[in-house]
A and B are shown apart, each in its own frame.
Chain A
Amino acid sequence: MSLHHHGVPREIRGARRSHLSRRAVLAACGAALLAGCGAGEADSTSPEVEALSSPTPSPDVPPTQVPVQRAGLPTAQAVIRPVRLRIPAMSLDAKVDAVGIDARTGDFAVPPSVDRVGWYRHGPGLEARAGSIVIAGHVDSAAQGRGAFFTLRTLAKGDRLTLTDGAGRGYGFQVVGVEQFRKTRIPLERYFARDGAPRITLITCGGPFDESTRHYRDNIVVTATA
């Protein structure tokens, strides 16, 4: 009952927002009808999210205390990898694969199966005290239909998500920003930073779809903090 009650205003909020953005697009298109449509929409960024990526200043070490370390060969750092992502507001419960870079393209290797999402194993894991833990998933695919992150763009500030590690321990986070960028302008360094506040970054595709190239124009970025 309370779940249902909670669900209703969310739906309305989502609907109103998409209606608003559609109206904005319509207005822009109306103004630029002769110039042609589709070029007007600006990236939507969040200053709060931007603030999270500023690195914390390192403490000044007095010159007499030079850090000295035993220079043995480096060993692998213990990283806690997420294995499951739950986002109740999207009715999402997805497996998380550890992924890296597509060697052919240099792009993020999003898991081919669209019902799974990929955690960037080169960045921080759940143990992170700084930096961005990145998880990307498909919005959809031509072959498999809707992806795990199909409704990612409908998330709103305050929505909750839970990542679970291999030992079954849950880590809770809350959405602090939903942003949209053209892929040509997205500041990826900020979202793949290993400094700044510890945070979760969820990424998928969005915006207008180009039928000829089979690509979405934009990326949707959701940022959450503990």
Chain B
Amino acid sequence: MRSSTIVRVLAAGAATAAVTATAGLATATPAYAATSKVSVVHGIPATPVDVYVNGKVTLKNFQPGDVAGPLDLAEGKYDIDLTKPGEAIDKAILSVDGAAVPGGANISIVAHLDAAGTPKITPFVNDVSKVGAGKARLVVRHTAAAPAVDVRAGGTPVFKNLTNPDEAKADLGAGTVSADVVLAGTTTVAIPATDLNLAEGTATIVYATGSAEGKTLGVVAQVITGLHSAPGGVPSGDGGLADDSGVSTWWLVAGAAALLLALGGGIRLATRRTGR
């Protein structure tokens, strides 16, 4: 009985020690080794893949139109390889050696087609600065095998002459906008109108993907939350009826001071009188 208690206590002690050690390890990670949030976006039509990072399979059977992550990756260079699902890394269909991940950034690594229709990988750094209260950020990235395009919101071009692999962005009032994509400078619709719900305090990143020639143009969206700001203030009264202390207390104090002065004067007067 006693020994079992001792064992339990020892075990508990060991567990505590282990936890402490782990915590120690965690805190021992140098603060300057900034990690980045990394998402992986699949924008190559009809090509599911396995994703290898530094030779290690990280995503299996990753489907077109999916977004993976975000992963916390330390600053550094990374080798990225895409294979057909289940195939060995030496049969990679797409490889990038030494892709640089800067510290403390938010990055999207996008597998997509270039303007000519060849698969490639493009890293984008995401703007995760705060948006103003009531606002949402819209980012559009041209990652499709298609010529230059205009992006229209409610029929009006908002981003003009966007080419692969560039992006355009704006902070807009939160809410729903109807957006479509047309060939630059024309009204020829490349991607038909869709309702985009831009939630307040988020960045919605829309990737145009696929191929115009292959008739596989479409969109993939990635949403980054937590970019909201507080309102500038909460003005909620201009009547003065609830005025607390300020004026009334001031008058109380002033009154008391006046009274003291008057009393002092009175006493002085009295002293003078008795003196005589």
Residues of A at under 8 Å CB distance from B? 18, 21-22, 25-26, 29-30, 33, 37-38, 41, 63-64, 66-77, 100-101, 103, 105-108, 110, 120, 122, 136-142, 144-147, 149-150, 153, 183, 188-189, 191-192, 194, 203-209, 211, 214-217, 219
Contacts and interface: CB of A to CB of B under 8 A. Distances in A.
A22 B134 contact: no
B23 interface: no
Contacts of B229: 189, 192
A121 to B, nearest CB: 8
B238 A141 contact: yes
Contact of B246 (A77, A188, A189, A207): A207
Given A68-B66, A205-B237, A107 B59 contact: no
Given A140-B237, A142-B239, A204-B234, 17 more contacts: A64-B58, A68-B66, A74-B204, A74-B223, A107-B231, A107-B233, A122-B228, A137-B236, A139-B241, A140-B238, A146-B239, A188-B230, A192-B228, A204-B236, A207-B245, A216-B243, A217-B246
Nearest to B67: A71
A82 to B, nearest CB: 17
Contacts of B246: 38, 207-209, 217
In order of increasing CB-CB distance, the 3 nearest A-B pairs are: A208-B246, A140-B239, A101-B134
A76 B176 contact: yes
Contacts of A207: 244-246
A71 B257 contact: no
Interface residues of B, number: 59
Contacts of B66: 68-71
A219 B65 contact: no
Given A33-B257, A122-B228, A194-B228, A74 B68 contact: no
A150 B249 contact: no
Interface stretch (B8-16, B76-84, B154-162, B192-200): B192-200
A136 B58 contact: no
B127 to A, nearest CB: 17
Nearest to B132: A106
B245 A208 contact: yes
Contacts of A216: 237, 240, 242-243
Given A68-B66, A74-B223, A107 B242 contact: no
B275 interface: no
B247 interface: yes
B216 to A, nearest CB: 15
A71 B221 contact: yes
A144 B238 CA distance: 10
Contact of A100 (B69, B134, B199, B233): B134
